[in-house]
Amino acid sequence: MNLRNVAIIAHVDHGKTTLVDKLLQQSGTFRENQKVTDRAMDSNDLERERGITILAKAASVQWKDTRVNIVDTPGHADFGGEVERILNMVDGALVLVDAAEGPLPQTKFVVSKALKVGLKPIVVINKVDRPDARPTEVINEVFDLFAALDASEEQLDFPILYGSAKQGWMAETPEGPKDKGMEPLFDLILRHVAPPTVEEGPFRMIGTILEANPYLGRIITGRISSGTLKPNQQVKVLNAEGKLVETGRITKILAFRGLERTPLDEAEAGDIVAIAGLTKGTVADTFCDPSVEVPLPAQPIDPPTVSMSFIVNNSPLAGTEGDKVTSRMIRDRLLREAEGNVALRVVEASDKDAMEVSGRGELQLAILIETMRREGFELSVSRPRVVFQKDEATGATMEPIEEVVIDVDEEHSGVVVQKMSERKAELIEMKPSGGNRLRLVFYAPTRGLIGYQGELLTDTRGTAIMNRLFHGYAPYKGEIQGRRNGVLISNDQGEAVAYAMFKLEDRGPMMIEPGWKVYKGMIVGEHTRDNDLEINVLKGKQLTNIRTTSKDEAVRLTPPIRMTLEKALAYIEDDELVEVTPKSIRLRKKHLDPNERKRAEKSKEAVA
């Protein structure tokens, strides 16, 4: 059967998963009366809640007499590791660009990877039904982007389609015709994307996606480069250096048919399949016939830029809300995660109760923590820190720099430029992006961007959109000022009392509600000044049996600051931790005892 393997790549929220929905529907994958949820490819709970794709997934449709394997990829830069691997197993890419926003940082990142691998992209201008759509200018921007990324003559001669994935149509002009649905896109894929190149020789396949299945065990998805594969066949696994990882038998071969997987009796070269039966083989390993000695080349993955400590929860409330609390359970879970996610790095810290986890950004690490807390884990996590490198030639410290693109209303541009320059960012470009909005491009140190998202939304009344992408390493930029306010710390353990909180309101906004459990060293609010203050939120009203004529003032508390996981990670300082349990997110000092805190502060000053 004729085959085509295509990846859909784009910036976050440009409509990749919606486009896959329409391709599945219009190819006859679903029955006429079948009820299908929106964004069918986003199968994970977190993906559904947040409306973003986190894991790359494959599906397959049949159009005329050709089977098209489609891979949906994430759009966030934090999950770029997923996209880098996927490009190895496809022969073409649909580059989806929003007709109003144009190409954004993640588009640039993924397109540069796709061009390096030699793919010839198809450009799809999506959302032309938007009132602020500007398809012609966006096409010029896409062409400039391809040229800037050193695309070859063939790659620059890319075909273009316009349409709206939501309305379910594609056409060669922005005006339509709209009655052909997705047919023009399917036909273009068949014409423009080359069939998979099949190499000579015995069975070889590079692992691209790893997942665990309760019935079949480890499942590895990849594209077969050469040869054929049958169930029960003996295979071996080689790592990138060519060392033997394991040998074993394939128990099941699954092929994608629509969203479902169906078992196959034989898989041929060029097809994307999932195999089960091996226990150690992982992503970027070569799965091959026992006679093969040389592994397939795997694409190098960009290094992680942000790291965090995952520490055993040792607060007085430890073990009251979660059932997975020991260091061994946390360690095993993180090592299992690192196997399937190549952009994560997990190392044991010098302190035996902690693990150092490095990734691409705070969002990637926050998603991992959120997944773990839903599985019943309790842990404490430190503030995200950037991963520094040493320049071998000069010995200077190098830090990660990100390219930051901020779309903002003109009236708020001044405050954004000021705040970014305080964070040691350089303004590279400022240009209008239509509708009284400006697009500002900065090169900023990753350190300065930790915790800036919330401040940006406050400064611009929620109208700014920030996108960031790893740019490279540059010499250390110097000190960047952190949080300006101190915190309010509980000085005792018990349940918070409304009367006490009411009396303390002038000290600063609270982060807890009456009746919540607090403990010594837990952060209960934000101080109005720049120093930390210990307070007593447990103090009740002194009751006597003397009646008074003055009525008690009704206790009306200001609503507390609600701390989500991302907000908490961005808020804390180096001497603070976030305690994460399945039911709560609490902020605390690293040292709960005030005397230990003073000692740590003094030793820090002595070192400085």
Run of H or E including 7? strand 2-10
Residue 181 φ/ψ region, left for φ over 0, alpha for ψ in the -120 to 50 degree band, beta for the rest: left
d(CA 423, CA 445): 8
Encoding tokens for residue 106?
């993640």
548 is annotated as contributing to ligand binding:
no
The one-letter code for the residue type at 607 is V
- How far apart are the two ends of the chain, measured CA to CA in Å? 69
Separation in Å, CA 160 to CA 35, 105, 306, 488, 550: 32, 20, 37, 57, 77
List, in sequence order, every residue forming a beta bridge with 404; answer none if it has no partner: 442, 468
Q: List, in order, residues 6 or more apart from 244 with CB less than 8 Å away.
A: 236, 237, 238
Nearest residue to 225 (alpha-carbon basis) of 300, 281, 288, 306: 288
42 is annotated as contributing to ligand binding:
no
d(CA 62, CA 4): 10
Q: List, in order, residues 6 or more apart from 277 with CB less than 8 Å away.
A: 216, 217, 248, 249, 250, 251, 252
15 is annotated as contributing to ligand binding:
yes
14 is annotated as contributing to ligand binding:
yes
Q: How far is CA 566 from the centre of its chain?
A: 12
Q: At what angle are helices 452-459 and 413-422 packed, to 10 degrees?
A: 150
126 is annotated as contributing to ligand binding:
yes
Encoding tokens for residue 566?
């991302």
d(CA 76, CA 121): 20
Nearest residue to 276 (alpha-carbon basis) of 219, 222, 234: 219
451 is annotated as contributing to ligand binding:
no
66 is annotated as contributing to ligand binding:
no
Cβ count near 286 (within 10 Å): 25
Cβ count near 41 (within 10 Å): 22
Nearest residue to 452 (alpha-carbon basis) of 437, 438, 468: 468
Can you give the three-state secondary structure of 375-435, one letter per residue?
CCECEEECCCEECCEECCCCCCEEEEEEEEEEEEEHHHHHHHHHHHHHCCCEEEEEEECCC
- Helix (H, G, I), strand (E, B), or coil: what is residue 573? coil
Q: How far is CA 328 from the centre of its chain?
A: 26
Cβ count near 181 (within 10 Å): 18
2 is annotated as contributing to ligand binding:
no
List, in sequence order, every residue forming a beta bridge with 238; answer none if it has no partner: 244, 286
574 is annotated as contributing to ligand binding:
no
d(CA 479, CA 482): 9
Q: List, in order, residues 6 or more apart from 97 with CB less than 8 Å away.
A: 10, 11, 14, 103, 107, 123, 124, 125, 126, 138, 142
394 is annotated as contributing to ligand binding:
no
Query: What is the DSSP code (8-state) at residue 236?
Result: E
Asked if 327 contacts 277 with a C-beta cutoff of 8 angstroms, the reply is no
Known binding residues: 13-18, 126-129
Known binding residues for GTP: 13-18, 126-129
